[in-house]
Amino acid sequence: MNKRITIYVYGRVQGVFYRFHTKRKAKSLNLRGWVKNQDDGGVKILAEGKKQDLETFLLWCRRGPPFAKVNNISHEWTNIASDKFDSFKIKY
C-alpha cells in the first residue's frame, strides 16, 4: 500500500539546486509528486510511494544536495495516497 508524505525543508535550500536534486532522487526511488519553493525561503515536498522508499527519501531530504544546508525539517505522513501523480515534478 502506498503512502504519502509532506515535507517542509528550511535552511539554505533555495538557489542551490535543491529542487533539481530532489526530483532526481525521487525519480530514482520511483516516487511521484512534486517539490516547490515557498515564499518563506523553504521548500515544500509532496511525495507518494512505498513507505520504505519514502523513508529513504526523507533521510536524503535531511542532508540535501552538496551546496544546501538544511537547518530544519518537518514532515507529516498520510495513509491515503491519491495515485493522481504519474511522475515527480518541480512546481513553479
Tell me the catalytic residues.
19, 37
Give the integer Cα–Cα distance in Å for 55 and 61.
10
Cβ proximity of 17 and 65 under 8 Å: yes
